[in-house]
């Protein structure tokens, strides 16, 4: 495990730092599709930018170092990264997924990979005994998010990895909500880590990107082949922006988490609030497990207002906090999972896993906490039905 000191340094100097050719402290944006070869069969390590690009390579080396993996790969979106990982599987294989998995991951499995004979089943990954009994011979991987979106459900990543190792299958962790600054799944036993880097890693809501980190050379070769074959790579400019975003990940996350703890306490004590879901609260599901596998509870909070508060009035009364998809940017965002991020999950499944109409998800930004709480307070008070 990296010490906090090493992690702060790696965020800024990790991977391929600067540029040997010119001394530029920042990795240049190599905006090129191709590379002149010296003579037949002799080049400087790059032939064509789908296969490899120096700016992307610097980002890929950086995320591999931060996650403690064998290699990293950068994609044009989180979903392109998810799809590349799912392309490891073949007809007849089955993947077990956490019940609160991101809606897009469910959709690509259900509507795209299912067409190619790759099956999935939705499991309660918090119950390790039940999960182990579900690993039948056709199961080739367990796909988890912890915390899982939007109820912030915590899964024991060491426990899942132990089961997967015993059964000879992969553990895949979507680490978008935590980032390697707060949680490093490969160190806990996972084989593959996936990110929507659009979120905290980018950090400024100004790019869409995805990352994959693998734990072994064998997986590295397979993902490199899939990346080059299917071609959903991240461009040089967005690779540069992502490297730039990652430099401040540590200081941003510290501030996000400080604000999130204060917001969770505020919501917990508020008379209008029925329930708060935040892994940083002692009474929350999986609190002890999260404490052992992550630095803290992160900065995503979900909550439900009591029945006598009108949720539509609440959303339309917010002035500072933007009603928007996505999360992890410096600005606070709010969303309604049932009609937004998780709309692609059928209603009966949504109900079964607890994604109610009244559920609200908050991505706490790094603004002054007073402004965030004032905005929540005035919108809650306007939404009360007398």
Ligand X SMILES: Cc1ncc(COP(=O)(O)O)c(C=O)c1O
Q: Is 77 in the site for ligand X (CB under 6 A)?
A: yes
Which of 104, 97, 49 is CA-nearest to residue 81? Answer: 104
Smallest distance from the beta carbon of 285 to ligand X, in angstroms? 18
Smallest distance from the beta carbon of 308 to ligand X, in angstroms? 31
Residue 28 is given by DSSP the state: P
CA distance 48 to 189: 34
Residue with CB nearest ligand X?
78
CA distance 63 to 234: 14
Using CB under 6 A as the binding criterion, the count of chain residues that bind ligand X stands at 14
**Near ligand X by CB under 6 A: residue from 49, 171, 179, 196:** 196
Q: Which stretch binds ligand X (CB under 6 A): 25-33, 43-51, 74-82, 292-300?
A: 74-82
**Judged by CB, which is closer to ligand X: 149, or 205?**
149
Per-position x/- string for 273-312, each x denoting binding to ligand X as judged by CB under 6 A, each - no binding: ----------------------------------------
CA distance 59 to 207: 14
Which of 182, 181, 187, 98 is CA-nearest to residue 141? Answer: 98
**Judged by CB, which is closer to ligand X: 79, or 212?**
79
Q: Which stretch binds ligand X (CB under 6 A): 78-86, 162-170, 251-259, 375-383?
A: 78-86
Which of 318, 77, 330 is CA-nearest to residue 207? Answer: 77
Q: Which stretch binds ligand X (CB under 6 A): 76-84, 115-123, 215-223, 270-278?
A: 76-84
- Strand segments, DSSP code E, in the chain are 71-75, 94-98, 119-123, 139-145, 170-174, 192-196, 210-214, 273-277, 300-305, 322-323, 333-335, 359-363
Q: Is 337 in the site for ligand X (CB under 6 A)?
A: no
Which residues form the interface with ligand X (CB under 6 A)? 77-79, 82, 102, 104, 145, 149, 174, 176, 196, 198, 208, 210
């Amino acid at each position: 495990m990296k010490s906090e000191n090493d992690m702060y340094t790696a965020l800024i100097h990790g991977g391929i730092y600067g540029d040997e050719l010119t001394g530029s402290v920042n990795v240049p944006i190599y905006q090129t599709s191709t590379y002149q070869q010296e003579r037949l069969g002799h080049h400087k390590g790059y032939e064509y930018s789908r296969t490899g690009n120096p700016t992307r390579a610097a980002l890929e080396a950086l995320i591999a170092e931060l996650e403690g993996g064998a290699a990293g790969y950068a994609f044009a979106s989180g979903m392109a990264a998810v799809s590349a990982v799912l392309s490891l599987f073949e007809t007849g294989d089955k993947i077990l997924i956490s019940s609160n998995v991101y809606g897009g991951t469910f959709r690509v499995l259900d509507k795209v990979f299912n067409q190619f004979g790759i099956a999935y089943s939705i499991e309660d990954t918090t119950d390790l005994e039940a999960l182990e009994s579900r690993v039948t011979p056709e199961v080739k991987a367990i796909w988890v998010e912890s915390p899982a979106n939007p109820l912030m459900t915590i899964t024991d990543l060491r426990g899942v990895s132990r089961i997967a190792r015993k059964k000879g299958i992969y553990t895949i962790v979507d680490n978008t909500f935590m980032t390697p600054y707060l949680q490093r799944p490969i160190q806990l036993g996972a084989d593959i880590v996936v990110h929507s880097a659009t979120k905290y890693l980018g950090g400024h809501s100004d790019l869409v990107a995805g990352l994959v980190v693998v734990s072994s050379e064998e997986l590295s070769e397979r993902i490199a082949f899939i990346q080059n074959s299917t071609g959903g790579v991240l461009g040089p400019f967005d690779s540069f922006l992502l490297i730039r975003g990652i430099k401040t990940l540590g200081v941003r996350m510290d501030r996000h988490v400080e604000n999130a703890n204060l917001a969770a306490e505020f919501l917990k004590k508020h008379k209008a609030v029925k329930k708060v879901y935040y892994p940083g609260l002692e009474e929350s599901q999986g609190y002890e497990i999260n404490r052992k596998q992550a630095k803290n509870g992160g900065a995503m909070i979900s909550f439900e207002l009591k029945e006598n508060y009108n949720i539509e009035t609440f959303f339309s009364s917010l002035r500072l906090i933007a009603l928007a998809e996505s999360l992890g940017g410096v600005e606070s965002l709010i969303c309604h999972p049932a009609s937004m991020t998780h709309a692609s999950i059928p209603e009966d499944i949504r109900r079964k896993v607890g994604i109610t109409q009244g559920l609200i998800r908050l991505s706490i930004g790094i603004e002054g906490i007073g402004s965030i709480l004032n905005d929540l307070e005035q919108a809650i008070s306007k939404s009360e039905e007398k």
